[in-house]
Amino acid sequence: MSVMDAVTITKPAGQPRTELSPKPSLIGLSREELGNALRERGVADKQVKMRVSQLWNWIYVRGISDFDQMVNIAKDMREMLKQHFTIARPEIVEEQVSNDGTRKWLLRFPPRGAGRPVEVETVYIPEEGRGTLCISSQVGCSLTCSFCHTGPQRPVRTRTADATLSQLLLARAR
């Protein structure tokens, strides 16, 4: 019996397309890198530590993917963040849920440079008292799991930290 026997397949309706903007993602940055990114956009040195802490909490603890929901950050700061950065999750192309609760998402990420968008899968397998989350750290995979879209693809490139962490944040939110 396959991991995905008796599957419900949905294609999320009305989900916005993955932004193809050149804006850099704040996801995957270290606290130091996040602080440097804020300084480069004019955030005062005396505010950087506090702003890094706020952003870290919103992105990684609360799982927020929209700057407008960061209510303890001033509106003008949120506007600056929206204008210059992204914290968007990948586009869900397809979602499958099996009878045993296994969830599988086919995700589309924007291209790097002039390349094409890439698709990878993320799979959550529930187990008694825990769960396993399979995330793609490469475009393509050498494991060739039969239930995974990424498995049959030959490895093409290593994923960026923001793309890898985005899979985790998306799965946690679902």
- What residue type is 15 in one-letter code? Q
Question: How do residues 50-94 score in pLDDT, each as one tens digit?
Answer: 999 999 999 999 999 999 999 999 999 999 999 999 998 999 999
Q: Sorting pLDDT into bands at 50, 70 and 90, what band is 17?
A: very low
Which segments of 28-102 are extended strands (E)?
91-98
pLDDT given for residue 121 in this prediction: 87
| Alpha-helical regions (H) of 41-151 | 45-56, 75-84
- The mean pLDDT of 3-26, rounded to a whole number, is 59
Measured on CA atoms in the order 75, 30, 126, 130, is the torsion positive or negative? negative
Question: How do residues 102-149 score in pLDDT, each as one tens digit?
Answer: 999 999 988 777 678 888 889 999 999 999 998 877 776 666 666 666
Q: Sorting pLDDT into bands at 50, 70 and 90, what band is 41?
A: very high
CA distance 70 to 60: 12
pLDDT given for residue 115 in this prediction: 75
CB atoms within 10 A of CB 27: 23
CB atoms within 10 A of CB 24: 13
The answer to whether 103 and 3 have CB atoms below 8 angstroms apart is: no
* pTM confidence score: 0.75
CA-based R_g, the chain, Å: 18
Q: Sorting pLDDT into bands at 50, 70 and 90, what band is 152?
A: low
pLDDT given for residue 105 in this prediction: 93
Q: What is the dihedral of CA 18, 53, 61, 137, to 10 degrees?
A: 50
